[in-house]
Structure 1
Amino acid sequence: MKKILLIEDDQTLRENTKELLEMLNYLVLDAANGKMGVELAVRYQPDLILCDILMPELDGYGVFEALHQIDSTSLIPFIFLSAKAEAADVRKGMNLGADDYLTKPFLEKDLIDAIESRLAKYFILKVKREKIKEEKTAAISSMNQLLDYFQKKGEICKCAKNKIIYEENKNADYVYLLDKGLVKTHRMDEYGKELITGVYNKGNFFGYYCFKNMSSYPETATALEKSMLYRIPHTEFNGILSKNHQLTIELAQLLSDNLSTLKEHLLEMAYGSVLKKTTNTILQFAELMKDKSQDEIKISRSDLASVAGISTESFIRSLSSLKKDGVIDIEGRSIKILNMDKLQSIR
């Protein structure tokens, strides 16, 4: 059953048109104004939209432009309905990219013909797009090609420092590739203490935990500094893997390596000395930020302490000890490594 969204502020016309379309076995959603229409289109992804022009809240032109800017609704067939029959109005609607334009009062046959022809064209083009998409995803057979796919096809997300990217127990809708900045993943224990489970920098994937469809994220991800990343839907990512077994093996190895690193980190938290934990954390961040011009770390003390698994106060005391020995220097919020060899020897 095809789904049609009808956006019309005239209640009588809306109800009559809806009844006609339902008699023709269409599932009809209706909205009394443009703002409500945009919300329904985004939520329910109709197969076609019929939209009046002169409406409260948001007019038909505004509805079309709003939906055209959203990837998931930009290609839905769109037919304007309006009493405005002047050539300029028709031309404006079609120049925006609408698929058709019907003036009121319209004949039932004209409406039905317009709907059926636009739906037929839409599904023919949809099949072609999906075929092209399958061919492109089938060609992804290495991590480098996967990186390139994210950068070309992924949605760009810009995050300010401390912005939450996704939250624990929320729907796991996306997989991420970090292009700039630093991101931490973390969760809270039963006592309300934060445990950082991972730190990611440029070129790292995160947000992927299962080779099946996931229902929710098991942890929270937060930007440690101003960051830029790409994301694609989790279902699309799984589709890529299902067509490329070698890539799946590489990703499984990557996840395995991450688990090994996390295991070592947890063991270090349990048995390492405070100074050793501090040193290892500084070196870990220095490695992640090695593409920067100086061995300088600009991360909050509380985040560094959380990664180390010690209190902020203990971390700061260890930093003071390292500074006194000439291993590091502290300038405001920045930690600068002065003697890398000596720092590594403590490790």
Structure 2
Amino acid sequence: MKSILLIEDDNTLRENIKELLELKGYRVYDAPNGEKGVENTLRYLPDLIICDILMPVMDGYEVYEILNNNKKTRQIPFIFLSAKSNPEDVRKGMNLGADDYLTKPFKEEDLISSIESRLAKYAILTENQKRQRGSGDSPGPEVSSLQELRNYFREQGQVLELNKNSAVYRERKNADFIYLIEEGLVKTHRMDEYGKELITGIYREDDFFGFYYFKDVSTYPETATALEDCLFYRIYNSNLSEILSSSHDLTIELAQLLSDNLSILKNHLLEMAYASVLKKTTNTILNFAEIMKAHHADDIKISRSDLASIAGISTESFIRSLSSLKKEGLIDIEGRNIKILDLSKLQKVRW
């Protein structure tokens, strides 16, 4: 009999799902919140976990991250259950590495189908691993999601610490490594034909960067520089190629991540081409504020020239736009720091 742990704070829904699963022949353990869910997972080591997202004490994302960082529980199939159905929430759940994401209200057959398919997939993977060990093969690292890849970087990667303004790698140098940021901010940039710096990306905590080549080793097409003191993990390109060759799911996730990044870059380039100077300045401030919010910071702390480069305008034009926004009371400038004073009005300028 397969066992399932159900983590759900709605008592009525929890009892209904538990009864349904027991009628289908599963042994069901339950928990009313995330903290109890982690405790029961370690206690019972179920075959599968179904977990709500919005819960008191500890939400579903926190539960997943704790269990995914524990070697005893990281392989347990995990299904998110939530009333949140917009694409960003679904993508967040799947990017963390969850096996599935069901939105409330759901059909009973959809829940059962998801459970059966995840258990079947896990059984096949387990059997293949046993066969590899039995045949004496040496399997590659077991990495099947972006979150597991982050864990692999932290456990197996080289640690690198750099001070603010230090180069992580330079254009035309051998592209040997892929990086994961543990702490700090990084920009990637290159020089155009007129000697002007163009910033091509901004990366923060938990972001990968340095993806350029997956087979033949070549050179970096741009430079990466630390915008503040940084801590990284890095692995060789060859290690990543080995991991991707044995994990179809991870390859698909990584392709989606790179596709999303290209879409963001495309929108940024279109904005640079057609938006007014004031709108470019506003968009840059708002976009960077979103990064800093995720980075647990209230102020934007980056040089004017870097912000201007991101916006695709001259530093002088950028500073004039900042002054205009300050006079209107939308932002405040303290030394090198920019603080948003009226977010709603600033967003209106954006469009």
TM-score bracket, normalised by the shorter chain, equals: 0.5 to 0.7
Query: 1:135 offset after TM fit, Å?
Result: 4.0
Distance 1:310 1:258 in 2: 22
Q: Any residues of structure 2 matched to 1:264-303 within 5 Å, and which?
A: 264-303=267-306
Query: 1:140 offset after TM fit, Å?
Result: 0.6
Q: Any residues of structure 2 matched to 1:159-238 within 5 Å, and which?
A: 159-238=162-241
Q: Judging changes above 3 Å, is the alpha-carbon distance between structure 1 residues 173 and 294 closer, same or farther for their aligned structure 2 residues?
A: closer
SS in structure 1 of the partner of residue 175 of structure 2? coil
Query: 1:211 offset after TM fit, Å?
Result: 3.1
Q: Deviations over 1:290-313 (max 9, x none)?
A: 135553111000000000000001
Distance 1:284 1:237 in 2: 30
Aligned 8 A contact 1:157 1:230 in 2? yes
Q: Which residue is equivalent to 2:321? A: 318
Percent identity at matched positions?
65
Aligned 8 A contact 1:184 1:222 in 2? yes
Segments of 4+ in structure 1 off by > 2 A? 210-214, 291-295
Q: Any residues of structure 2 matched to 1:13-162 within 5 Å, and which?
A: 135=139, 137=141, 139-162=142-165
Aligned 8 A contact 2:186 2:204 in 1? yes
SS in structure 2 of the partner of residue 290 of structure 1? helix
Residue 256 (structure 2) pairs with residue 243 (structure 1): no
Aligned 8 A contact 2:140 2:243 in 1? no
Residue 348 (structure 2) pairs with residue 345 (structure 1): yes
Distance 2:310 2:157 in 1: 29
Number of residue pairs the alignment of both structures matches: 216
Of 261, 269, 274, the match for 1:258: 261
TM-score of the aligned structures, taking structure 2 as reference length: 0.59
Q: Deviations over 1:220-277 (max 9, x none)?
A: 1011111111100111111111110110111011111111111111111111100111
SS in structure 1 of the partner of residue 293 of structure 2? coil
Query: 1:213 offset after TM fit, Å?
Result: 2.5
> Structure 2, unaligned stretches of length 5 or more?
1-132
Q: Which residue is equivalent to 1:39? A: none
Q: Which residue is equivalent to 1:14? A: none
Q: Judging changes above 3 Å, is the alpha-carbon distance between structure 1 residues 174 and 294 closer, same or farther for their aligned structure 2 residues?
A: closer
Query: 1:341 offset after TM fit, Å?
Result: 1.1
Aligned 8 A contact 2:190 2:198 in 1? yes
Aligned 8 A contact 1:213 1:234 in 2? no
Q: Which residue is equivalent to 1:113? A: none
Q: Judging changes above 3 Å, is the alpha-carbon distance between structure 1 residues 208 and 292 closer, same or farther for their aligned structure 2 residues?
A: closer
> Structure 1, unaligned stretches of length 5 or more?
1-127
Residue 324 (structure 2) pairs with residue 327 (structure 1): no
TM-score of the aligned structures, taking structure 1 as reference length: 0.60
Distance 2:231 2:297 in 1: 21
Aligned 8 A contact 1:212 1:238 in 2? yes
